[in-house]
Amino acid sequence: MARTTPGGGTVSSTAATQSARGSASGYEAVRASRDFWTLRRRFGSFIVPACALFISWYFLFVILAVFAPGFMRTSVFGAVNVGLCFGAGQFISTFAIAVSYRRWARRRLDPLTDRLRNRLEDGRRQ
Amino acid sequence: MTGTAIVSQASATIGTPAVNFIIFAFFVLLTLVIAVSAAGTNRSTTDYYAGGRAFTGWQNGIAIGGDYLSAASFLGIAGIIAIYGYDGFLYSIGFLVGWLLVLMLISEPFRNTGRYTMADVLDLRLRAVPVRAAAALSTMTVSLFYLIAQMAGAGALVSLLLGVSNSAGQDVIVTVVGLLMIFYVLVGGMKGTTWVQIVKATILMAGAAVTTVWVLSRAGFSLPGLLHHAAAASPAGKAVLAPGLEYGVSTATKFDFISLALALVLGTAGLPHVLMRLYTVPNAREARQSVVWTIWVVGLFYLCTLVLGFGAMWLVGGKQILAAPGKGDSAVPLLAFKLGGTLLLGIVAAVAFATILAVMAGLTITASASFAHDVYAGVLRQGDVDPADEVRVARITAVVIGTVAVAGGIAAKQVDVAFLVGLAFAIAASANLPSLLFSLFWPRFTARGALWSIYGGLITAVGLIIFSPVISGQPGSSLISDPHVNFAFFPLTNPAIVSIPLAFFLGWLGTVTDRNPPDAARYARMQVRALTGIGAERGGRS
């Protein structure tokens, strides 16, 4: 972080954000801005489908395991069956969603939050 | 007493207690040195609760992995796989998948809107002392449940490895474990505890990886080959490679598993000791980074567990595992002994022991922070408190909680570890998650909704456990072994399938029937702060 005390240790809050915390209008202004509206929309547009996807994928797996063990027993090759492939798929999808969320957030969310924060703090400083 | 005879017989066959003891002592000493040297001053609340917020994302990610991968994972899951095969694998997937919820919905907003505890987040949104009290109560309940599960695991492990088979000896060891844990927390604070977690997680991963490669080398580095050998060694045959041996027995066990799956996938995001770790990094981006690291650590670890479990099924055999003290929990130690003799056994066991200690330290610091910061400073003193005084209260609480956990651990010696942890997840998902999600994302949410949801979820989850076969009705597996005592009217052992939807519903109902209007300005502030980090507590290295 750029803003740390010279002596080191913790900075609980900067002067700029402290004044922002005091006034509700600072937050209202941010909230009314176009950038914040975009941020909210983008956040929702990734998070909601991604969560819906992984939760339904996981429960599909659980329900098949519980109510269709015969299907899960079907051999794919040798000792490896459908159930084991499904399980491996859960691991792969979890890693993939985590990594793609991180990449996406870096590209699509972080520049927006930086801009919003800088604008507010610059405004305070004047 | 045939039980004792089996115990002493089995402990005679597994390793040399003296060697195990030396390796144990070495690991304990190592972690103590780390805790003491990393501790620093720990005078401010930010130091004591949040490690000065100075950890980087990957450090904290490994530490969260350390907090999460408890004895239940290392010993419990591998044990279930060794006995029931595929159903243990199902269990481990639930423990992993839940992290996506933490990553995407919780980590950044949570880091941005709180300071030290989960109740801070609710308080920023709702500004109500009763809500803080309720959140503190559920935090402490979940932590204590989890803590007792770890303690029970420690007793079984030690009896297996140090040849301490009599009950009094085990109690002494549980007490020593409790004292060590209190020491870590008092001296190390969050900084020392975090370093213990990082070191422990690294050793745990290394130990699991080495043993995994070892098992695979026996099977010609072929996973299908390993599965084939394991199925051939099991009396159930190929059935161990498919679901159903543990959970497919009856309709009740099937729904029990769905209930457990719900608890696992939603519970991770409500575990207070995991959430509190998100405050040890300087900002929300590092919190996000932490959770991605955690997902790698946890996922790779469970993949190793799969190999270890089937390896134990093949090389040790279910019969010998079930005959050993601690039953399934002894599968990995027995496997290590089979592969690498006394030395590998000692190392694996010491890693498991260090795991239990470190996880308990993390839980104790969470519960003590919640009491000191939420109950003492927030509720009793209404925020008018000196930080040094708050830290002093937190330290005293840590001692009290450690003592309670020792007593609980002695009482719950016989109970299966992974199972108790599943219950802690159910309580976390019911009592904590709904109010957390509503606070962060629902503009209408009110304090009344939060109280209904927290108390409703907590009381339903704990109540249904009390009236389930866990406590009574099934002599042999219930806590009350008397067959005449039966008040188990709830058929499932895990309450999540009822208590989680109910807690969400109560949060909604309490809110829409509330005559007080929602505080729009507070929600505006919460939303901006959650998504952008404006006004969030910052920290970092200089």
Domain boundaries in chain A? Answer: 21-121
Taking all residues of chain B, what is their mean pLDDT, rounded to a whole number?
87
Interface of A with B in 73-102 (CB under 8 A): 73, 77-81, 83-84, 87, 90-91, 94-95, 97-99, 101-102
**pLDDT mean over B99-105:** 96
Residue of A nearest to B247 (CA): A66
Question: What integer is the mean pLDDT of B359-366?
Answer: 90
Q: Please answer whether residues B499 and B78 qualify as being in contact, where contact means their C-beta atoms are separated by less than 8 angstroms.
A: no
Taking only the tens place, the pLDDT of each residue in B512-532 is: 999 988 888 889 889 999 998
Residue A75's DSSP bridge partners are A81
Q: What is the pTM of this model?
A: 0.90
Report the 3 state secondary structure along B102-166: HHHHHHHHHHHHCCCCHHHHHHHHHCCHHHHHHHHHHHHHHHHHHHHHHHHHHHHHHHHHCCCCC
Residue B98: per-residue pLDDT? 95
Determine what percent of chain B is predicted with pLDDT higher than 90. Answer: 47
Highest mean pLDDT among B49-53, B140-144, B184-188, B288-292: B288-292
The full set of domain ranges for chain B reads 2-118+145-410
Chain A touched by B231 (CB under 8 Å): yes
Q: Is the pLDDT of residue B254 over 70?
A: yes
Q: CA B337, B343, B348, B353: dihedral to nearest 10 degrees?
A: 120
**Sign of the CA dihedral B122, B125, B127, B130?**
negative
Q: Which of B256, B259, B275, B261 is nearest to B435 (CA)?
A: B275
B43 touches chain A (CB under 8 A): no
Q: In the predicted model, is pLDDT for residue B469 greater than 70?
A: yes
H/E segment holding residue B264: helix B251-267
CATH number given to B2-118+145-410: 1.20.1730.10
**Higher-scoring residue by pLDDT: B221, B475:** B221
Comparing B71 with B35, the larger pLDDT belongs to B35
Chain A hits for B228, Cβ within 8 Å: 78-79
Question: Model confidence over B22-61: pLDDT tens digits?
Answer: 888 888 888 888 888 877 766 788 888 888 898 999 999 9
Tens digits of residue pLDDT in B299-316: 999 999 999 999 999 999
- Between chains, do B535 and A58 touch, taking CB under 8 Å as contact? no
In tens, the pLDDT along B159-187 reads 777 777 777 887 887 888 888 888 888 88
Higher pLDDT, B177 or B395: B395
Say if B286 is an interface residue toward chain A (CB within 8 Å): no
Give every residue of chain A whose pLDDT is below 50, as ranges. 1-22
Closest Cβ–Cβ partner in A26, A66, A91 for B257: A66
* Residues 287-316, chain B, touching A (beta carbon < 8 A): 288-289, 291-292, 295-296, 299, 302-303
Collapsed DSSP state (helix, strand, coil) of residue B6: helix
Window A:39-68, CB contacts with B under 8 Å: 39-40, 43, 46-47, 50-51, 54-55, 58-59, 61-63, 65-67
Select the highest-mean-pLDDT range: A119-123, B169-173, B364-368, B500-504.
Answer: B500-504
Quick check: B366 pLDDT over 90? yes
* Interface touch A24/B521, C-beta < 8 Å: yes
Cα B132 from Cα B56, distance rounded (Å) = 29
- Give the pLDDT score at B9: 41
B105 → closest Cβ in A26, A47, A98: A47
Residue-wise pLDDT tens digits, B432-448: 999 999 999 999 999 99
What is the least distance, in Å, from the CA of A126 to any CA of chain B?
18
Token pair listed for B388: 């040094």
Task: For chain B, positions 514-533, list CB contacts with chain A under 8 A.
Answer: 521, 524-525, 527-529, 531-533
**Which positions in chain B touch A7 (Cβ < 8 Å)?**
542
Instruction: For residue B253, count other CB atoms closer than 10 A to its CB.
Output: 17
What are the tens digits of pLDDT across the range A35-51?
Answer: 899 999 999 999 999 99
